[in-house]
Amino acid sequence: MLKWAWNRARTRGLAGWSGTPPVPTVHRIRSPRTARGECVVTWVGHSTFLIQCDGLNILTDPVWSERCAPVQWAGPRRIVPPGVPFGELPPVDIVLQSHDHYDHFDDWSVRAIARAHPHAHWYTPLGVGRRLRSRGVTHLTELDWWQRVDADQLQVTCVPAQHFSGRTPFDRNTTLWSGFVLRIHDHTLYFVADTGWHDGFSDIATQCGPFDVVLMPVGAYDPRWIMEPVHLNPEEAVRAFGQLCLPHPASRPVMIAMHWGTFVLTDEPVDEPPLRTRAAWRAERLPEDRLWVMAPGETRSLER
């Protein structure tokens, strides 16, 4: 990390970045809820989505702060505003918290949701619960990899990812990280969260698929000599999607690109991830309409 930070500062300056950020659009969220059988997804930014499915409102890795850092006067600054202002959120029922890194676990957002939506139920991997409780969350379930729970209207499965955790130099990997699979009536959604390439994607598909939606990270991948173990690049993301489809050849899931265009965390241009993702998608001759590269605030409806 120190070597990378030094090279970055020496070659491009402390705040240097290139490329054009995505242009936000007007959100079309369903308020207060979707109808039975309806499933819509709105990209707030980075790995934060509002998923409205069969009457449930679900947030993934909620981050509304200006910076993803221990303090709000330093660290990576948001380059586009949240696609949905916090005050315009509908009643939140479920929150998926994949791990405790600052670009996924935001202190202000956790506290704000705990105050504004106190009955929301949080699902998180082992060890992260104490961080949530200390910030006011009262309803939560901690899960190990492959552990599955059934609630009133949904099933939540915690699935493996190749990543790491920690919020200081002294708590590395003391908490778990994961992805999540949600099954809501007839819809199945896979929130991949943060991961590098691993050989478990086909196992996840076999045990939890077929999927209707895969929320797949495609950004924060350069330089590869440090990012390859923990973040997919676009070509690996498309390859992972292919692995998820193999056990269910008749399925036609949508892949939604995430983890790009919101915070400048690594060295690639901010607009490069979707360009490379589309190129890799075409190289695999996958259907164009099954790749969603959304704008912040964009709402799309899943068609059965």
Whether the pLDDT of residue 15 is over 60: the answer is no
User: Residue-wise over 59-88: b if at least 16 C-beta within 10 A, else e?
Assistant: bbbbbbbebbbeeeeeebebbbebbbeeee
Report residue 7's pLDDT band, with 50, 70 and 90 as the boundaries. Answer: confident
Separation between Cα atoms, residue 190 and residue 183, nearest integer Å:
9
Angle at 279 between CA 16 and CA 242, to 5 degrees: 115
Domain assignment of residue 10, yes or no:
no
Instruction: Identify the pLDDT of residue 47.
Output: 98
Q: Judge contact between 304 and 34, C-beta under 8 A.
A: no
Q: Angle between the 272-283 and 234-245 helix axes, to the nearest 10 degrees?
A: 40
Structural domain containing residue 63 = 28-287+297-301
Q: What is the mean pLDDT of residues 23-45?
A: 96
Domain assignment of residue 20, yes or no:
no
Instruction: Identify the pLDDT of residue 32.
Output: 97
Domain assignment of residue 16, yes or no:
no
Domain assignment of residue 5, yes or no:
no
Separation between Cα atoms, residue 39 and residue 213, nearest integer Å:
10
Structurally, the chain folds into a number of domains equal to 1
Domain assignment of residue 4, yes or no:
no
The mean predicted confidence, pLDDT, of the chain is 95
Whether the pLDDT of residue 12 is over 60: the answer is yes
Domain assignment of residue 8, yes or no:
no
Whether the pLDDT of residue 14 is over 60: the answer is no
The alpha-helical segments, DSSP class H, found in 13-150 are: 107-116, 129-133
Q: What is the mean pLDDT of residues 191-208?
A: 98
Q: What is the mean pLDDT of residues 17-25?
A: 92
Q: What CATH number did the domain enclosing 259 receive?
A: 3.60.15.10
Report residue 10's pLDDT band, with 50, 70 and 90 as the boundaries. Answer: low
How many CB atoms are located within 10 Å of the residue 249 CB?
A: 7
Q: What is the mean pLDDT of residues 184-210?
A: 97
Comparing CA positions, the residue from 278, 247, 255, 234 lying closest to residue 190 is 255
Domain assignment of residue 52, yes or no:
yes
Domain assignment of residue 6, yes or no:
no
Whether the pLDDT of residue 66 is over 80: the answer is yes
Separation between Cα atoms, residue 50 and residue 75, nearest integer Å:
25
Per residue in 240-287, pLDDT (tens digit) is: 999 999 999 999 999 999 999 999 999 999 999 999 999 999 999 999
Instruction: Identify the pLDDT of residue 188.
Output: 97
Report residue 73's pLDDT band, with 50, 70 and 90 as the boundaries. Answer: confident
